[in-house]
Structure 1
Amino acid sequence: MMNKSIENLYVYYRNIDINFHKSDFFIHSHDYFEIYMFHKGDCKYLINDHVIQLHENDIIVMNGSALHGPTPTEGQPYERTVIEFSPEWMRSIINQLNVPEILTPFDQLGNILLRDINVQQFEEIHSLLQKINIKQLNLENSAKKSIEKRMLKGEITTLLIELLFILYALSKSKLTSMPVGNTNKMKHVNKVITWIDYHYSQNLTLDEISDHLHISKYYMSRIFKDITGITVMQYMMQRRLLRSKYLLEMHPEKSILDIALESGFESASHFSRKFRKHYQFTPTEYRNRDDDDKPSNTLINHFS
Structure 2
Amino acid sequence: MNRLIPFPFFKQYNYRFDIPYKFEFDVHPQYEIYYFHSGVCNYVIGDQVYDLQPGDMIIMHGMTRHQPKVDDLREYVRSMISFEPSIIQMFEQQVRSLNPLSPFEKLKNFHIRLNKQSQSEVEDILSRIDCFYGKEDIVCYHRFLTAFYDLLLFIYDKCRSAMEECRSVSSSKEWNVQRIVAYIENRFMDEINLDQMAKELHMSKYYVSKLFRSVTGMTIFDFIIQRRINEARILILLGGPLSVTDVCYQVGFKNPTHFSRRFKEQIGLSPAQFRKKVGS
Which band: TM-score by shorter chain? 0.5 to 0.7
Note if 1:150 corresponds to 2:138.
yes
Mapping of residues 146-185 of structure 1, within 5 Å? 149-173=137-161, 184=178
- The equivalent residue for 2:103 is 105
Shift of 1:32: 1.1
CA distance in 2, matches of 1:113, 1:95: 29
Residues 8 and 66 of structure 1, relative CA distance in 2, 3 Å threshold? same
Shift of 1:110: 2.3
Mapping of residues 145-294 of structure 1, within 5 Å? 149-173=137-161, 184=178
- The equivalent residue for 2:52 is 54
TM-score norm. by structure 1 comes to 0.49
Deviations 1:91-127 (A, max 9, x none): 5636552334321111156211110x23222211111
Query: Quick one: which amino acid aligns to residue 29 of structure 2?
Result: D
- Give unpaired runs (5+ residues) of structure 2: 167-173, 184-200, 202-280
Moved more, 87-96 or 35-44: 87-96
Over aligned residues, Cα RMSD in angstroms? 3.2
Q: Which has the higher contact order (CA 8 A, sep 6+)?
A: 1
Residues 105 and 29 of structure 1, relative CA distance in 2, 3 Å threshold? same
Q: Contact between 1:65 and 1:109, CA under 8 Å: does it hold in 2?
A: no
CA distance in 2, matches of 1:82, 1:45: 13
Match of 1:133 among 123, 130, 146: 130
Residues 94 and 172 of structure 1, relative CA distance in 2, 3 Å threshold? farther
CA distance in 2, matches of 1:31, 1:95: 24
Local SS of the residue matching 2:142: helix
CA distance in 1, matches of 2:65, 2:128: 29
Q: Contact between 1:63 and 1:108, CA under 8 Å: does it hold in 2?
A: no
Query: Quick one: which amino acid aligns to residue 136 of structure 1?
Result: Y
CA distance in 2, matches of 1:74, 1:186: 39
Shift of 1:45: 0.7
Find the structure with the greater CA-based Rg.
2
Residue identity over aligned pairs, in percent, reads 26
- Give unpaired runs (5+ residues) of structure 1: 190-214, 216-304
Aligned length: 169
Deviations 1:141-189 (A, max 9, x none): xxx5xxxx22222111111111111110111246xx99xxx99379869
- The equivalent residue for 1:80 is 78
Local SS of the residue matching 1:56: coil
Q: Contact between 1:34 and 1:63, CA under 8 Å: does it hold in 2?
A: yes
Local SS of the residue matching 1:105: helix
